[in-house]
Chains A and B, each alone.
Chain A
Amino acid sequence: MKKVPVQFTLNGEEKAEFVESGVTLLKALREKIGDTSVKAGCQQGTCGSCAVIVDGELRLSCLTLAERCGGAAIETTGGLAHGEVLHPLQRAFNEGFATQCGFCTPGMIMAAKALLDHNPQPSREDVVEAISGNICRCTGYEPIIQAILAAARANSLSAA
């Protein structure tokens, strides 16, 4: 199988890898780089468990080819915390009991981060729209919506 070089930053760290041509970013991250915070829930683009942020935009890593990400800045939930200091979204999901099985959580947090990065004070409707591509089977979504709104409030308090 043909291998091609690809270079990008993952959560601020330079990565340079030879990947199989045509391999998805999902597989490159999980199997090559070892970032298993990115989950394979469907590989169809219908569940959002694999969502990552590429150059500031939410994308599905299962439908993105790794070699098209050359030079990109990629963010995943696996790189969101600074040591023991959690990102406000992570804190809000934890303290708000917004995670049960935890499988959808990393993708859900990426979807929420993509929202808050562009819109720090979202309405409930904005939050609903932002997570609409992410499936959660455990929580009924309400705790997740509340956690994202709580993180936004925490952000605004710390900014004030």
Chain B
Amino acid sequence: MGLGLETFPTLAAAGEALAANAAARYLGGGTLVVRSANEGDVGFETYVTASERALTDIVVADGRATIGAGVTMARIAREPALGFLAPAARAVGGPAIRNMATVGGNLFAPVPYGDFAVALLALDASLDIDGEPVAVSAFLAGRDTTHAGALVRSVSFTLPAEGSFLFAKASRVRPKGASVVTIAAVVEERAGTISSARIAYGCMADRPIRAPAVERALAGKARTAEGIAAALAVATEGTAPPTDAIASAWYRGEVLPVHLKRLLLPA
């Protein structure tokens, strides 16, 4: 059977169509699902998409940002109110991919992709799924199980304090390369010491993960070589990096502390 596209005015209607048709897939920017069809995935025959306005909205107000799931990386990269996020948005693909790839799609991107989701995890973002708030950490943990096939309307997060959001991606190929390791962090400092830190990794497991041991070890420390030493010592705790064409699990584990150190201690 050939492929077909069905477009619905709301995400809810799209969700009903998907629920009713096991051979349907949600079509966002197309970078994952159209590729899959092109490569001979015959597991689905219908693209379902929604034209709901909220999917492409960016709202920044009262210290909080809400980004529609259909907003592209390119739009985020040029959104003045989200300037701190531009490096994370620009870490995705090349220019053409960034004009297509969406926030929602990135949440589902398998390793070594999904760099933007790492940023969202560090921001402790909340997802709107069927009108219910779901923490991005909970969503990612249940991505293939409880939240499989979930339709994300938007993501929202509290804007981090000026200068507190850090992002780094190590890749083999520049400027566009799949990730060896991606690290996003929100590090807040008070009076010369770290008051709180949220650290998220990409490519250190089969999906973006937080690094609670590092976060604990940073709390109350100075952002100096000495201050972060304990955190670096536990950098790989709880990680299970994949081996793939880009890098081995061993290599990822070895260089993670190096990149974490460089992120936390800028030259």
Contact = CB atoms under 8 A, between A and B. Distances in A.
Contacts, number: 90
B196 interface: no
Contact of B30 (A2, A20, A63, A130): A63
B190 interface: no
B30 A133 contact: no
Contacts of A102: none
Contact of B2 (A20, A63, A133): A20
Interface stretch (B53-61, B94-102, B126-134, B236-244): B94-102
Residue among B31, B47, B97 with the highest chain A CB neighbour number at 10 A: B97
Interface in A38-89: 43-45, 48, 51, 57-60, 62-65, 67-68
Chain B contact-residue range equals 20 to 34
Contacts of A114: 95
Interface residues of A, number: 33
B164 to A, nearest CB: 26
B31 A65 contact: no
**Chain A interface mostly:** mixed
B4 interface: yes
Contact of A22 (B3, B39, B94): B3
A46 to B, nearest CB: 9
Given A24-B38, A43-B38, A63 B31 contact: yes
Given A2-B2, A22-B2, A45 B97 contact: yes
Nearest to A43: B38
A111 B30 contact: no
Contact of B94 (A24, A48, A63): A48
B163 interface: no
B42 interface: no
Contact of A68 (B4, B5, B174, B175): B5
B96 A133 contact: yes
B35 A63 contact: yes
A21 interface: yes
Contacts of A4: 5
B161 interface: no
A62 B99 CA distance: 14
A58 B4 contact: no
A128 interface: yes
Interface of A: 1-2, 4, 20-24, 43-45, 48, 51, 57-60, 62-65, 67-68, 111, 114-115, 128-134
Interface of B: 2-5, 27, 29-31, 34-35, 37-39, 46-47, 49, 74, 93-97, 99-100, 174-176
